[in-house]
Amino acid sequence: MNRTLYTALFYLGLPLVAIRLWLRSRKAPAYAKRIGERFSLGLPSMQPGGIWVHAVSVGESIAAAPMIRALLARYPQLPITVTCMTPTGSERIHALFANEPRIQHCYLPYDLPCAAARFLDRVQPKLAVIMETELWPNHIDQCARRGIPVALANARLSERSAKGYGRFARLTAPMLAQMSLFAVQTEAEAQRFLRLGARPETVQVTGSIKFDLSIDPQLLQRATELRQQWQAMERPVWIAASTHEGEDAVVLDAHRQLLGNYPNALLILVPRHPERFDSVHELCRQQGFATVRRSAAEPVLATTSVLLGDTMGELLFLYALADSAFVGGSLVPNGGHNLLEPAALAKPVISGPHLFNFLEIAAMLREAGALQEVDDAEGLAVAVQRLFELPQDARKMADAGLKVLKANQGALQRLLDGLGRLLGRH
C-alpha cells in the first residue's frame, strides 16, 4: 500500500472515525469537544516558527516533559507547540505547563493531507519532534515538502510493531527515509528501523530518556509530612498504580489477603484512566473497603483501608507516600507502564508478567534484583507482605533500582544534542 491508497482509505474511513469518537465520548465526554481541531479547523491562535512536539497521550506527555523543559531553556526565543490525541493527554499538558506562556497546545489533526497542511501552515515549525512511535505518513510528507526536519525521540519499535510496519513497506519505507533523526532506545530497535528503510546516518542509539527522571526533594518531604498527618508512619502502605480494567479486582483481592495479617495496611489505588475513577470507587465500596477519594480531600483515618488516587498529575507524589509499588497494565496483557518512576523514588517495584512495552527496562531491573514479577492476587499479596516484613530486602531492591536508573542516565542530553544539530541546519 502506498501513501495515495492510504489517504484514500483514511477518507473513506472517516465515518468510522466519527463513530469511534462518539463511542469514546459516551465514557469520556471530553472526546465530543474540540472536534474541529482534529481537522485543523478552529485551531487556537499560534505563534509560528518554533518547535512542534507530538506526544500521543498521557504516558508520552510525561516522558516528553523533561525534554520540553530543556528545549524551553535552550531556545528562550522559540515557542513550543505540544500536540496530543486524547483528552487525558491534553489535561496533562495543561497541568505540566500551566505557567509557561511559550507552550502552545492543540490536538494533532488527523493524518489527512489537507488537515496536515493547514496545521503546518499555521504553526510553521522549524523542527518536528514525535515521541516514541507515533508515525503519520501525511504529516511527515507535508513536513518534508516544507523542509521541516522530523525527529523521532525516545524511539521504540517492538518486533511485533516492526512486522506490522513491514507489511506495508511501500508506505513505511518512503516515510522513514523522509525523516531526519531516530533517537532510539536500544541497538535492537535501531536495527529494526534500518531494516524498514530509515537512512543509516539518521539512526542514533541514545538510550531511554525515561531514565533521566529527577525527583524534587520537596516531593519526598511533602509525602513524609502527609503520612505524619495521617499518623501512618508505622502503617504498612502500598500503592497499585496505573491499573487497567480487570486489575483492580485482583489488587483488592490481594489487599484483602494482606489485611488478614496486617489489619492496618493501607492501599493507594490509582486507576490509569480518569473515566474509570467512579467505577473503581464503586468497586471498592461494594467489596466493603473503607475508601477515601483523594479528590475529596478527606482525611485518611486509622480506619481507612483504601485511598483512591482519583486526581491528575499526582502519581509521583502518590508513589512517594507508599513503602512499595505495584505498577499496573501488567497483570492484563497491556504491556505495562513506567517502572522507573517508583524506582526513582527508591521504592521496591512489583509488576505482573505483561511488560512488552518495557522489555529492556524490565530486564535491567530484574537482573539487578530491583523488580519482582507476580501472576495473581495471591502472588501480589505475598510479595507486598514480604516487603513489609523484611525492610532490609525492601531497601536492597530500592537501592538496586536507583543504581540502574543512575547508570543509564544521559539519553536526554544525547537527544538534545541531536535536535540541536537539526535546528542548526534549518
Per-domain residue ranges for the chain?
24-212+410-424, 217-408
pLDDT for the residue numbered 27? 85
DSSP state of 129: E
In order of 24, 209, 247, 278, the CA distances from 406 in angstroms are 40, 12, 31, 38
CA dihedral sign of residues 337, 58, 152, 35 = positive
What local confidence, expressed as pLDDT, does residue 214 receive?
Answer: 85
Are 405 and 213 in contact, with CB atoms under 8 Å apart? Answer: yes
- What's the full length of the chain, in residues? 426
Q: Which of 60, 134, 189, 247 is catalytic?
A: 60
Span 104-115, pLDDT tens digits: 999 999 999 999
- Check if 275 is active-site: no
**pLDDT score, position 244:** 97
Angle between helices 113-123 and 137-145 (to 10 degrees): 50
The maximal CA–CA distance of the chain, rounded, in angstroms, is: 65
pTM across the whole model: 0.84
Question: Based on C-alpha coordinates, what's the Rg of the chain?
Answer: 22
Provide the terminal-to-terminal Cα distance of the chain, rounded to the nearest Å.
32
Write out the three cell numbers for 206: 541514545
* DSSP secondary structure letters along 229-277: HTT-SSS-EEEEEEE-TTTHHHHHHHHHHHHHH-TT-EEEEEESSGGGH
User: How much is the average pLDDT of 145-161?
Assistant: 94
Q: Which residues of 354-391 are buried (b: 16+ CB within 10 A; e: fewer)?
A: ebebbbbbbebbbebbbbbbbeebebbbebbbebbeee
Residue 312 pLDDT: 85
Rounded Cα distance, 82 and 95, in Å: 13
Q: CA-CA distance, 191 to 173, in Å (whole number)?
A: 14
The whole-number average pLDDT for the span 237-252 is 98
Average pLDDT, the chain: 95
Sheet containing strand 150-155, edge to edge, reads 103-107, 80-84, 51-54, 127-131, 150-155, 181-184, 203-205
- What is the percent of the chain where pLDDT is above 70? 100
And the C-alpha cell for 90?
491534553
Comparing 24-212+410-424 with 217-408, is the CATH topology the same? yes
As given in the structure block, the three cell numbers for residue 110 are 488527523
CATH of 24-212+410-424, one of 3.40.50.11720, 3.40.50.20, 3.90.1150.10, 1.10.287.3510: 3.40.50.11720
d(CA 60, CA 92): 10
- 297 CB neighbour count, 10 Å cutoff: 8
Contact 185, 207 (CB under 8 A): yes
For the residues 67-87, what does the mean pLDDT come to?
96
Q: Which three cell numbers stand for residue 324?
A: 512499595
Mean local confidence (pLDDT), 79-93 = 94
What is the structure's pLDDT at 426? Answer: 57
Asked whether residue 70 carries a pLDDT value surpassing 90, the answer given is: yes
| Structural class in CATH, domain 217-408 | alpha beta
